[in-house]
Amino acid sequence: MTDAHPELVHLLENLRSEGTFQSHGSFTLDLVHAREKLKKFQLLDPYHYVLPLVSAVVLGGGSTLRCRVGPARFAMEFDGTPFTVEELEGMFSVLLVGSSPVAQRRVAELAVGINAALSLSPRQVSLVSVHPDQVVKATFTARKQQVETAPPPEKAQPWTRIEVQHAGMRALWRKTQRDAPEVLALHQRCRLANLELTVNDLSFPPQIGWENHSCLVASYLRAGEARKGCEITIGKLTSRVDPPRTDVTSGPYSAVVTLGGEAPQELVFVHHGLIFRRPDLSLGPATRAAIWAPELRRNLSHTELVQDESFELIVEQLKLEIFRMLTVLEGRFAELPDPDRQEAVDCLQRLVGFRLQHDEVLQALKLARLLVRARPAGSLPALLDDYVVALIEQRDPRKNDPAAVQLRLEQTLGALARAHGLELKRIVLGARDDSAVSRFTFDGPFPRVETLLNRLLATEEQLFGLAHEHVQARMQSMVTVFGTKRPARARELKIALNELQRPMELALESQARYHGKQLSKVSLRD
């Protein structure tokens, strides 16, 4: 109960008066009352009822799932632990409690799937679970739930069958569809489950697509101890620089990571057999990862994984693995054929930033200069890499001539300005300031200025990270430049700045309160 969602806790309190308490401390709910209360927690697409049912199969230890699809029905048969009378009678209660044991999570997934299927107004949903000593049968309609038992057949093996029988206009609509929506959901979301999956006797082999493309470097990361749900299910990876690396993770998850290649970048989590794609959490260009992490949690609508501390820890460990792979790529860089070397240059840009952010200034500078030499002379990527070298040289502890450093920085910015058809202008400040953001601006057509500023921001963010003062100064200057001509972009940058600066303000406010003071904000423009 302590890890339940606050909305569920509130809902649970409302339902206690409508439930019947059992001796072991749980309670059962009337089907009609339960479904009415659970409306706000239903799946966004009711035809995705098949997805939590697949999760129930995985959590029950199933290895085989056979689906049959017809114009007015969808049926699935699977092995694994069969459901008991007590589980079926109290499954909506288990869903609301949100308990952590695997057996209860399996019943909760079943309840989510049955509840979503009932929202389609089927003729009925039926479930048959065969035990060695009995057969448990359950039928569900919009207003009725019935569970009964029967003697088992001879030499019965444990298995379960769930069937949804559609009715009326829903069944007629199904007949006009080329592909049943349940099949599309299985194809898009269940291809990495550790199951032998077939639909109408056609096999759905485990695959995601990009594992069959060659890459520069690859890694297999396996969970340190055998754990259900951590099995890597995709096929053999092909890397052009050394065989794929194999290592053990420090948490309850497994992963495969590839770097380079033509496949698009992608981050995919597999949770109890279901794929959750996270395009907003890119690990960098030409980087792909698939992670099997059964201990993560889903949100109430089962559409996303909860981005909690465990989630963030996995992402951070993946980033560390990627930079280990980049280090391998750097060591083999001189031996690569020219096409692979040009591809590796784009990947290694991230390693420069990683080293700089970890105070490895000299190593970052050495690699940045190597990348400049590897680029076609005078190309825009070469000019941007040269700007990176100039920025790092400002932090080189061996440099003792600030004027020479500033001249070098001005020259690189001037070259970038000319490449964009712009003119570099110096801002006279009254006091000395060594910031490239504060001392220079660009004159010329606004669309070209916008393009260059966006490229500089992307380069500086990759080099220093969003939290760095240089990057925030660049964002603030862009807010001023974009103010009237690109108001939407200016607002976006303001929001990002507020989110970045708020933790620092909270820390300062806490210190001020500790000393009995009040924090005041001062505008430098006043």
Contact between residue 164 and residue 125 where contact means Cβ atoms under 8 Å apart: yes
Q: Is the pLDDT assigned to residue 46 strictly greater than 60?
A: yes
Q: Which of 77, 79, 81 is nearest to 69 (CA)?
A: 77
CATH of the domain at 432: 1.25.40
| 121 and 221 inside one domain | no
**pLDDT (tens digit per residue) in 195-228:** 999 999 999 888 887 887 888 999 999 998 778 8
pLDDT of 220 reads 93
Least confident of 23-32, 106-115, 218-227: 23-32
Average pLDDT, integer, range 79-99: 82
Q: Is the pLDDT assigned to residue 445 strictly greater than 60?
A: yes
| 460 and 339 inside one domain | yes
Residue 524 lies in a domain: no
Identify which has the larger pLDDT, 33 or 307: 307
What does 204-246 look like in DSSP terms, one character per residue? --S--SGGGS-BSEEEEEE-SS--TT----S----BSSSSPEE
The helices-and-strands tally (H runs, E runs) of the chain is 17, 18
Residue 348 lies in a domain: yes
Identify which has the larger pLDDT, 291 or 498: 291
- The domain boundary, picked from 203, 230, 247, lies at 203
Q: In which band, very low, low, confident or very high, does the pLDDT at 11 lie, cut at 50, 70 and 90?
A: very low
| 167 and 249 inside one domain | no
Contacts of residue 195, defined as CB under 8 A and 6 or more positions apart, other chains included, come to 54, 57, 58, 62, 63, 64, 65, 273
Q: One-letter amino acid identity for 117?
A: A
Total count of domains within the chain: 3
| 198 and 266 inside one domain | no
| 230 and 365 inside one domain | no
Q: In which band, very low, low, confident or very high, does the pLDDT at 173 lie, cut at 50, 70 and 90?
A: low
CATH of the domain at 199: 3.30.565
Q: In which band, very low, low, confident or very high, does the pLDDT at 170 lie, cut at 50, 70 and 90?
A: low
CA max distance for the chain: 95
Contacts of residue 400, defined as CB under 8 A and 6 or more positions apart, other chains included, come to none
Residue 450 lies in a domain: yes
422: tokens are 């712009």
Residue 291 lies in a domain: yes
Residue 400 lies in a domain: yes
Strand, helix or coil at 284?
A: coil
Indicate the DSSP class of residue 70: E
Q: Is the pLDDT assigned to residue 526 strictly greater than 50?
A: no
Axis-axis angle for helices 338-357, 446-464 (nearest 10): 70
Residue 520 lies in a domain: no
Range of the domain at 53: 6-203
Indicate the DSSP class of residue 120: T
- The domain boundary, picked from 145, 168, 203, lies at 203
Q: In which band, very low, low, confident or very high, does the pLDDT at 37 lie, cut at 50, 70 and 90?
A: low
Share of the chain above pLDDT 70, in %: 82
Identify which has the larger pLDDT, 356 or 510: 356
Contact between residue 109 and residue 59 where contact means Cβ atoms under 8 Å apart: yes
Residue 172 lies in a domain: yes
Contact between residue 304 and residue 275 where contact means Cβ atoms under 8 Å apart: no
Contacts of residue 233, defined as CB under 8 A and 6 or more positions apart, other chains included, come to 192, 193, 194, 206, 270, 292
| Per-residue CA distances from 99 to 56, 80, 202, 276, 305 (Å) | 15, 21, 36, 22, 17
pLDDT of 411 reads 92
| 128 and 94 inside one domain | yes
pLDDT of 429 reads 53
| 453 and 304 inside one domain | no
What b-and-e string marks burial along 448-469, b requiring 16 or more CB atoms within 10 Å of the CB?
ebbebbebbbebbbbbbeeebe
| 180 and 229 inside one domain | no
pLDDT of 397 reads 75
Q: What is the C-alpha to C-alpha distance for residues 364 and 380, in angstroms, rounded to an integer?
A: 20
φ, ψ for residue 123 (rounded to 5)?
A: -60, -45
Contact between residue 302 and residue 112 where contact means Cβ atoms under 8 Å apart: yes
Q: What is the C-alpha to C-alpha distance for residues 216 and 347, in angstroms, rounded to an integer?
A: 10
Q: Give one word for 151, left, alpha or beta, with left for phi > 0 and alpha for psi -120 to 50.
A: beta
> What are residue 442's DSSP bridge partners?
424
Strand, helix or coil at 454?
A: helix
pLDDT of 505 reads 53
Q: What is the C-alpha to C-alpha distance for residues 472 and 172, in angstroms, rounded to an integer?
A: 58
| 27 and 103 inside one domain | yes
- The domain boundary, picked from 270, 302, 330, lies at 330
Identify which has the larger pLDDT, 253 or 507: 253
What does 398-430 look like in DSSP terms, one character per residue? T---HHHHHHHHHHHHHHHHHHTT-EEEEPP-S
| 346 and 234 inside one domain | no
Using a 10 angstrom Cβ sphere, with 0-12 exposed, 13-18 middle and 19 or more buried, the burial of residue 20 is: exposed
**pLDDT (tens digit per residue) in 371-411:** 999 999 989 999 999 999 999 988 887 776 778 888 888 99
| 323 and 231 inside one domain | yes
Residue 521 lies in a domain: no
**pLDDT (tens digit per residue) in 144-159:** 889 999 998 887 789 9
| 156 and 294 inside one domain | no
Q: Give one word for 280, left, alpha or beta, with left for phi > 0 and alpha for psi -120 to 50.
A: alpha
